[in-house]
Structures are given as C-alpha cells and as structure tokens.
Structure 1
Amino acid sequence: MLGDVYNFGILSLEMFTGKRLTDSMFSDGLTLHEFATMALPGRWMEIVEPSLLLEAKTGNNSVETSARRRRGEGKDRIEECLVGILGIGVVCSMESPAERMEMTNVMAKLCAARENYLGRRI
C-alpha cells in the first residue's frame, strides 16, 4: 500500500505540473518531488501545468463558471485547490514511507479541496 501512495503522489505531481518523472530537467539530483516542494506554497504558478491556469482564466469550464457566479471571482479558490493538490502530491511522494500520507487521509484532503473549489459540500 505504501508504494501505491508514492505512485499516487508522483502521478498527481506529473498531472498538475505537466512534467514527467523522467523529464530531462530532473538531473543532477533534482527530482519531481523536490521541484514541487521548492515551489510550494508561494511559487506554485511557476510549476503548475499552464493549461490549467488558462482554463481558469478564460472560464471555459462550465462547472468553474457556474461556481464563480455563485460566489464571485474564484481565483483564490483555484489557488487553494491547486496548492492543496500539489501539496498532497508532495507528501505522498516523500522518500521515507513513514512520512507519506495514508490513502484515507489523501481522499479526505482531495474531497475537501474539491468542496472548497466548488463552494459546496459533495
């Protein structure tokens, strides 16, 4: 199960950064995990997959657009959601298995991020 948590963390970081674990930028000791860790929380926009930000800026996502209407501009919620997901990826991909989050906690944090983003309880 610990390997599953690690793999989930790496997959999350790959999806939300748009970088692969095997990307050529990860050499000389730099890893995807370290790349994300160094950017959180203040420099998250430098590492997040640009298409995620583009969709958020243009409002092309109907769920996001309707949520904006319910609560006003959702930029802060988008940031909280992305930082939260990247943070989950970082904790799940810690080198030491003892430092990794348990999957039940991962699920709870992902649900909380989604609820916060949508502005409602699911």
Structure 2
Amino acid sequence: MFTGKRPTDERFKEDSSLHSFVKEALPERVIEITDPTLLQERVGRGTRNGNNMRNESLLQCLNSIFEIGLTCSSDPPSERIDMGNVVAMLCSIRDKLHQTRFVRHVRT
C-alpha cells in the first residue's frame, strides 16, 4: 500500500520481490520507494527548522511503517510479529504524526 506497487509487478521477477525491494531501500531511500501520492507536498518543501523537523518525523514514521511491513511478510511465517503488536506499533506511529501536526499548529 505504501509503495504503490503490487507483489505481481513486472519488476518483481525471479530473485526480486516486493519484500526485497523494500528491504534493500531502507532506511536511506524511503522517499524513493514511497508512493508519491502519499507524500504529495509533505516532504521537502520547507527550509525552516520546523518544516525540516516535520519532514524528518514523517520520514522516520514511513521507515517504521515499512519495517512493520517487512516483519509482517517475513519468511518463514514463524518470524512474523503478532497482530496485536502491529496495531500497537501503528498506533504509536499515528500518535507521533498527530503530535507533529499539533506542534505545527501551535507554532503558527
């Protein structure tokens, strides 16, 4: 969902997969693998410290989401994390994003 790619995409043939595509890109190239429609105008627009902090926070959250996806699609399945833990991790990411938005509104 976050890459905009399907596991059946033409680029994922033979030794390549959506899982390996994401794993090889993290954490340095998180922007490159994220579906541009999710980013829209959120990343890279501002030069002020506040915008840079929000951008960094967003990048950290995206990286965490991709890491969760990698763990959920681990092979063998016995290495996958419990869905209760996934929900808790995603809620934590959501809270971090909401906190960043709140700080932006307070400062403006």
CA contact 1:16–1:49 (8 Å) conserved in 2? yes
Of 86, 91, 95, 1:106 maps to 86
TM-score, normalised on structure 2? 0.79
Conservation of the 8 A alpha-carbon contact between 2:44 and 2:55: no
- How far off its partner does 1:25 sit? 0.3
Aligned to 2:105: none
Residue identity (%): 43
The alignment status of 1:54 with 2:40, answered yes or no, reads: yes
Kindly indicate which of the two structures has a greater share of residues assigned to helix.
1
1:7-53 CA-partner distances (Å, limit 9, x unpaired): xxxxxxxx100001100000121000010011111111111101122
Counterpart secondary structure, 1:17:
coil
Q: Distance in 1 between matches of 2:78 and 2:91?
A: 23
Question: Root-mean-square deviation (CA), in Å?
Answer: 1.8
Maintained 8 Å contact 1:17/1:48: yes
Greater RCO, 1 or 2 (C-alpha within 8 Å, sep 6+): 1
1:86 pairs, out of 44, 63, 66, with: 66
Amino acid at match of 2:4: G
Partner residue of 2:2? 16
Number of matched pairs? 94
Per the alignment, in what secondary structure is the counterpart of residue 42 of structure 2? helix
- Give ranges in structure 1 of 5+ residues lacking alignment: 1-14, 60-71
Greater than 4 Å deviation, 4+ residue runs: none
Q: TM-score, normalised by structure 1?
A: 0.71
